Every structure is written in C-alpha cells, then in structure tokens.
Amino acid sequence: DGGITQSPKYLFRKEGQNVTLSCEQNLNHDAMYWYRQDPGQGLRLIYYSHIVNDFQKGDIAEGYSVSREKKESFPLTVTSAQKNPTAFYLCASMKGQGEGTQYFGPGTRLLVL
Amino acid sequence: KQEVTQIPAALSVPEGENLVLNCSFTDSAIYNLQWFRQDPGKGLTSLLLIQSSQREQTSGRLNASLDKSSGRSTLYIAASQPGDSATYLCAVNEGSQGNLIFGKGTKLSVKP
C-alpha cells in the first residue's frame, strides 16, 4: 500500500523537552510538507522540502526544526522554544513542487503535560 | 498576502439535499485550487483539484468550479448523505513552490 505514515498518533511533551514527530512516505514524492492545525483554524505551513538535504521555512517555523536526509522521510522536531505546541500536526507530500495533489498523513496530536 | 475564506463556517442539511460550499481568495494569481475533506481527528483526503486553466472538475456526486478572475470556487454536493458529514477545506496553490494556503473550512452535518 502506498501512502504517508505518521507516528505516533498521540505525543505528550513535558516542559522544556524536545520531541520528534515522524513522517514517512513510499509514494516516491520529491516534495514534503509539515502543517499545524489548531481548533477552528485552517492549516498553517511550518516547513517544506522539495529535495533531499534541502528545506525551507514556512509561515510559522519558529520553535521547530526539520531534516531531510532521505527522500522518504521528513521528521519534525518541536523544540522547547515552541511555547504553545499543543496542536494537530499533519505531514503531506507531493510528486513535484507545484504539481498536482498533495497527499496527507493521518496526523499526530501533540499535548503538553 | 493571499487569504482564503470559506462561507459558511458550518452547515446542517437534511439527507438528500443538494448543497453548495463557497471558497473565496484575495489574489487571483493562483496555480491551482484543491478541495479536501477532513473527518474528526483524521488527516485530509483530497477530493478535487482544479488547475488555474480549468473551469470545473467532477467526481461522482461532487462538482467543483473555479472562477479565477473573481477569486471564487464552489463545491457542489448532490443528493447529500449522512456519510458526507465532515469538514471541507479549500486550499490555493500560488505557484511553483507548491505551498498551500488553506481556508478555515466548512463543517457539514447531513441529518438522516
């Protein structure tokens, strides 16, 4: 089955802790994206990557970091600098930048203890 | 800066009704527009993609139209069913970066 997987489904963060959200795709897509969704809000772009070893900041990158060491993987780290991390995080991929449909993973819900 | 607005924020209809969801955007220079469906606590499912050169796209009971010059798109759902209950999100792609700008969505409830 081709698709995008995100893990874990739920993640709990303690004060001052960094946590990493996993995103993996087997669609052979070049472009990958991370979005944040807050209740009653649209999705907002955190980071994106169009090619391995390259990524760009989105609209709300502060307090987050990413890496793109493999085409299939685009993990997101929520650092202690992100003061309001509670949200639903969605990863997406697309065949090529600007081309066609974006496909989304099932999401990770991050909660603060 | 591009802004995407969806009206209404919520809609409740009886089963069998035809309905229209609206999406407007402030900058008409878009690459394409996508409609998504989101069930509670889930990811997004792509419904329809309309390229900037197209006027409409159809999939089953769904029809999406695009009027780029007026900055509007509509999603028409025919013969609604309780299974159509979800939040519907509209997103515009402004250019070759592929980054989507989303509206806040319309929460649809179809009553049996």
Q: What is the pLDDT of residues B15-40, one digit of tens each?
A: 999 999 999 999 998 989 999 999 99
Tokens of A43: 């999705």
Chain A residues inside the 8 Å CB shell of B41: 88, 107, 109
**Tens-binned pLDDT, residue by residue, of chain A (113 aa):** 569 999 999 999 988 899 999 999 999 999 999 999 998 788 999 999 999 999 999 999 999 999 999 999 999 999 998 889 999 999 999 987 666 789 999 999 999 88
- Give how far Cα A59 sits from Cα of A22, A64, A79, B33, Å: 20, 11, 17, 19
Round to whole Å and give the CA distance between A53 and A73: 11
Round to whole Å and give the CA distance between B13 and B84: 11
Lowest-confidence range among B10-19, B54-63, B95-104? B95-104
Question: What is the pLDDT, as a whole number, of residue A100?
Answer: 79
- C-beta of residue A45 within 8 angstroms of C-beta of residue A102: no
Question: What is the pLDDT, as a whole number, of residue B5?
Answer: 97
Chain B residues inside the 8 Å CB shell of A40: 104
Residue in chain B closest to A6 (alpha carbons) equals B43
In Å, how far is A45's CA from the nearest CA of chain B? 8
Round to whole Å and give the CA distance between A24 and A93: 9
Q: Looking at the partner chain, which of B41, B49, B103 has a beta carbon nearest the beta carbon of A101?
A: B49
Chain B residues inside the 8 Å CB shell of A92: 44
Average pLDDT over residues B63-78: 96
Question: What is the pLDDT, as a whole number, of residue A20?
Answer: 97
**pLDDT top residue among A2 and B102:** B102
Round to whole Å and give the CA distance between A43 and A56: 17
**pLDDT top residue among B34 and B94:** B34
Q: Looking at the partner chain, which of B44, B102, B104 has a beta carbon nearest the beta carbon of A40?
A: B104
Give the best residue of A101, A109, A111 to mutate against chain B (max B CB count within 10 A): A101
Summarize pLDDT for A55-66 with one digit per residue, the tens.
999 999 999 999
In Å, how far is B95's CA from the nearest CA of chain A? 6
Are residues A58 and B105, on separate chains, in Cβ contact within 8 Å?
no
Residue-averaged pLDDT of chain B: 94
B59 contact A CB<8A: no
In this prediction, what percent of chain B has a pLDDT beyond 70? 99
Chain B residues inside the 8 Å CB shell of A31: 98
Question: What is the pLDDT, as a whole number, of residue B96?
Answer: 64
Residue in chain B closest to A4 (alpha carbons) equals B43
